[in-house]
Amino acid sequence: MKKFLILILSIILFASVASAEFFSDVIVTSPNGIWTDSRAYTTLNAAVAAVDANDREIVIASPQVVTTLTVPANVRLKFLRNGSITNSGYLNIQTKNIEADNRQIFTGVGNIDFAAGTVVKTGWFSNIESAFALTTDDTVTLIVTKPQTITASYSPGNNVNLKWESPGNILTVNLGIVVGNLKNIEAGNYQIFAGAGDFDFLDGAELKLNWFNRLSDVLTWVESEKVTIVVNENSLVQATVASAANESIKVVPGGILNLDAGVVLTVNGDFSAGPYQAFTGAGTVVLSNVVDQYPEWYSSGIFTQATIESALTAIGTLNKATLILRPGIWVISSNADWSAYKNVTFKIVPGAVLQIATGTKTTISGPIEAGLYQVFDCIDAAGKHSMETGFDLATSGRVILRGGQIGPISPNWFGVYANVTQDDTAAFNLATGAVDFSDSIESVDANMTNLKRVVQVPAGNYFISGIVYVPSGVHLRGSGITSTLIYIDLAGTADSAIKLFATTAGPGGIGLPAELSEMVIWGYRVGHNNVDGTGGESRITNVRFQSAYGGILAGSDNVITGCLFDSCVYGITSASQNIIIANCLFYACNFGINVNIVTDNQIVNCHFEYSVFAGINITSSSNILISSCQFLLNVQQGTFIILNGAANSIEILNSTFRNSFNESVKDLATSGDINISNCVFNGLRTNPAYFQSTTAYAIYIGSSNFTVRNCSFLNLFVNPISLNSTGTVIISNCKYKLLNASNYFVYIPAATTGTVSISNCHGDNTIPLVNPPDSVSLYLSLSDNEAWLGALVTAGGRMGYTVPFQRANQWLCTVTATVLPSIGSFVHRKTTSFMVQKQVGWTGAALQTSISMVNLLEAPATGAIPVIDIDIDLTTIGGGLTSAGLFTSGTLIISVPDTYYDIQVSVHPVN
């Protein structure tokens, strides 16, 4: 019995000792061990007061009741067993160091304030609603440590960070209940939200799709707030849904949206992902407002044709998008017609190259966004193709860029070298051949206006050994005549270096011209032109041709403007009709322009300087206009303008000729009609350092009909106009001032036939108007500042004109004088006709040539009212009409009263 009592007492003692640390009193400990001064207090308030400012841990092992209490920051709270705090007033916990299990440790109806940065658990409160309510004004991290069903509408505070540390702790909101103010959330890849109620998120919230049961849930709970939904694992989309504009979706590496068959996911907000797959499954994705996209989003493959085509299919043909092709070789192994996707911009970044297989075509209608680097690799491209027969797919792949929304095409996209040593022919042809207007639908814009496509050549130096073809509707445009140089290989293809074709008509048969502009073309292919425009309507603008055999071979409907031809054998050869050449400069060319058997050409406002043989050479052509041009010093035997063959309807207007070496205009034509008007012929050099010509005519008239009007002839050393014509020559309203008094304004060589009319031509009275005629019919209209031969003769109120008759045997002469209107009231004109005959006879022992005159008609008769006489005196001015006798001077004088303002004289050879 005694042993039994001892055993019972021992057990009681052992139990008492074992349970000593679980006393219900509040225990205060030191960081360095048991605080032995007074280790237990009956109340929490007493323990906190005893700690004062010391760093101590207060262990709460039993329920404590407080009304008002502040726990300072130097205290660490530790809850054991059933320790808790029941607060009926105000509990201010300034310490962030709270240690407790996942059980309720705060009870009561009082308010609690936690220190900023405190980590609290939802299990420490009676429910999550209480946790939200008691932390609403605090800056804390609230760890959700157990699943909760929310039955009342509460929301976490603005500065409360919700955190999940393990799966399973789902917050389920009941129908009709709203939990709002959600933004700062930390959780892993597991569900944390559920229920039929409503979760309201703040602007800027980033939500993992894993936190929700399905995508439709989060799209339902998000209302007008701007949020980002993050997809970071394979997430099923099993129902057709559409995101709103304020809902962004971001797929991170490892995430993918897996769409069931028949499901349509419409993303109306932002979407972002890197160059990796973001969508899979048999459903459909519509990214309605997403511009920049990677083709990898839609396919598990990379750098393949299928990758791109999957993306295009997903994007569709309605919404605008930019497809970003990242660096790598994108193999296009078969024909790819992407022309339907005009809404898609292909953004090809540096290092990304579409490799087009030989024999295939890739067609793109959307814009291309790329820099000056290679983006297309047409395998084995030799650049051999003919615009008449089509592109040669046997040696290369082809890229077709259709539609006006594609901006300028760069030959750099096709791999130019731009180093003047490696051949760029293929790259240029692939660029110009990238335009296809065979489909008329692609040839017009929305306003049914024919489109032109630009191939933009950047600044740089390029090398062409073959032929570059510029087809209809294509504008091959450089970056300026000081920036873009195309060097033509001397040993290259025996043909023109650049050929322009305009054979393809747009809608309604309207042609689309080929164009060339803003570059220097340098080089010499013997017997060939650097540019051939005979393929049809073409435009060539602001191009410098340097040291070429031929600059341009111009074809029908070519327009050539603003070009410079420097040291070329032929600047331009005109070989067809309807050609306009304007505002061009020809410097030191053998022939500036060679017009050969053509019609309807215009040469306007061009400048010709130092031409070796001719500025313009016209052969057997008609309807040629030369207007507002300037010609300066031909350096050899050259002539400014040469007319050969049958030159019909040649107009030379408003032009200036300066210091010609030979004739300024030389007519060697067998027939034709040439009109020269409003031109200036000046024989002086423009600079004392230049060669001064002293042998040049202004105009040499051959067999053509010629009209010269309103021209000025200045500072010439020889006869301004020399006639050798069998046609009709009309010279009127001209002015002349010459440097050699022994010459004539118009020189008519012996045996010249035809008809010559000279009227109202004013000189400086130092040279004769015309030399004595021989076999031409000559019409003169003389005013008061003209002399036919020698100076004007005046005497006794009369004026007279000396008329030479040294050559022809017999002349019929007619003189008509017109009086000033104030003299007389009835008759204002007086006419006389007479014969002048040359005869050779003996005078004594000498053989002498004499002339005699026989008066034939005078009307009105002498003495009629008003008194107007035309006196024909073989020696001097005098009254009366003398008509008898022989005179050896060979000259007679026609004199009239000085009140006459105009006299017309015509002389016709009889034999």
pLDDT digits (tens, 9 = 90+) for 127-148: 999 999 999 999 999 999 999 9
Task: State residue 636's pLDDT score.
Answer: 55
Contact between 896 and 869 (Cβ < 8 Å): yes
pLDDT class of 204 with cuts at 50, 70, 90:
very high
Residue 97 lies in a domain: no
Task: State residue 843's pLDDT score.
Answer: 54
Residue 889 lies in a domain: yes
Q: Tokens representing 394?
A: 């046997």
CA 681/CA 662 separation, integer angstroms? 12
What average pLDDT does the segment 48-55 reach? Answer: 90
pLDDT class of 125 with cuts at 50, 70, 90:
very high
Residue 904 lies in a domain: yes
Residue 582 lies in a domain: no
Residue 299: phi and psi, rounded to 5, are -150, 150
Highest mean pLDDT among 395-399, 791-795, 842-846, 905-909: 395-399
Task: State residue 789's pLDDT score.
Answer: 42
Task: State residue 213's pLDDT score.
Answer: 94
CA 628/CA 607 separation, integer angstroms? 9
Task: State residue 785's pLDDT score.
Answer: 41
pLDDT class of 781 with cuts at 50, 70, 90:
confident
Residue 155 lies in a domain: no
Give the helix, strand, coil percentages of the chain, each rounded to 5: 10, 45, 45
pLDDT tens-digit readout, 537-568: 899 999 999 999 999 999 999 999 999 999 99
CA 790/CA 785 separation, integer angstroms? 12
Lowest-pLDDT choice from 287-291, 603-607, 700-704, 898-902: 898-902
Report how many domains make up the chain: 1
Residue 828 lies in a domain: yes
CA 799/CA 665 separation, integer angstroms? 36
Task: State residue 891's pLDDT score.
Answer: 56
Highest mean pLDDT among 157-171, 407-421, 875-889: 157-171
Q: Is 229 left (phi over 0), alpha (psi -120 to 50) or beta?
A: beta
Lowest-pLDDT choice from 206-210, 604-608, 796-800: 796-800
CA 698/CA 712 separation, integer angstroms? 10
Task: State residue 518's pLDDT score.
Answer: 97
Task: State residue 849's pLDDT score.
Answer: 57
What single letter denotes the amino acid at residue 753? T
What average pLDDT does the segment 84-108 reach? Answer: 96
Residue 418 lies in a domain: no
pLDDT at residue 888 tops 60: no
What average pLDDT does the segment 792-818 reach? Answer: 61
Task: State residue 809's pLDDT score.
Answer: 60
What average pLDDT does the segment 327-337 reach? Answer: 94
What average pLDDT does the segment 330-335 reach? Answer: 94
Which of 271, 273, 224 lies closest to 248, judged by CA?
271
pLDDT at residue 166 tops 90: yes
Task: State residue 738's pLDDT score.
Answer: 78
Residue 412: phi and psi, rounded to 5, are -60, -30
Q: Tokens representing 784?
A: 């008061």
Express as a percent the part of the chain with pLDDT over 70: 77
Q: Give 267-325 as a DSSP string.
A: E-S-EEE-SS--EEESSEEEETT--EE-GGGG-S--SBHHHHHHHHHHHTTTS-EEEEE
SS3 call for 551:
strand
CB burial string 757-768: b at 16+ within 10 A, e below: bbbbbbbeeebb
Task: State residue 274's pLDDT score.
Answer: 93
Range of the domain at 864: 810-909
Count helices and strands in the chain by DSSP H and E runs: 6, 84
Residue 849 lies in a domain: yes
Highest mean pLDDT among 224-228, 302-306, 428-432, 681-685: 224-228
How does the average pLDDT of the chain come out, rounded? 82
What average pLDDT does the segment 844-863 reach? Answer: 62
Contact between 383 and 430 (Cβ < 8 Å): yes
For residue 730, how many other CB atoms are within 10 A of its CB? Answer: 16
Q: Tokens representing 669?
A: 């034509």
Q: Are strands 886-887 and 846-859 parallel, antiparallel or unpaired?
A: antiparallel
pLDDT tens-digit readout, 571-582: 999 988 999 999
Task: State residue 170's pLDDT score.
Answer: 97
- The three-point CA angle 673-785-758 to 5° equals 20
Task: State residue 190's pLDDT score.
Answer: 96
pLDDT tens-digit readout, 684-730: 888 887 778 787 788 988 878 899 999 999 888 888 998 887 788 99
For residue 435, how many other CB atoms are within 10 A of its CB? Answer: 26
pLDDT at residue 882 tops 50: no
CA 30/CA 369 separation, integer angstroms? 71
For residue 153, how many other CB atoms are within 10 A of its CB? Answer: 16
For residue 472, how many other CB atoms are within 10 A of its CB? Answer: 27
**251 against 808, higher pLDDT:** 251
Task: State residue 767's pLDDT score.
Answer: 72
pLDDT at residue 74 tops 80: yes
Q: Tokens representing 429?
A: 């042809």
Task: State residue 23's pLDDT score.
Answer: 46
**DSSP character at residue 450:** B
Contact between 193 and 229 (Cβ < 8 Å): no
pLDDT at residue 856 tops 80: no
pLDDT at residue 386 tops 50: no
Task: State residue 883's pLDDT score.
Answer: 43
**804 against 719, higher pLDDT:** 719
pLDDT tens-digit readout, 431-487: 988 876 554 334 444 444 445 678 999 999 999 998 998 888 889 999 999 999 999
Task: State residue 69's pLDDT score.
Answer: 95
Residues 6+ apart with CB under 8 A from 698: 657, 660, 663, 664, 665, 681, 683, 713, 716, 720, 721
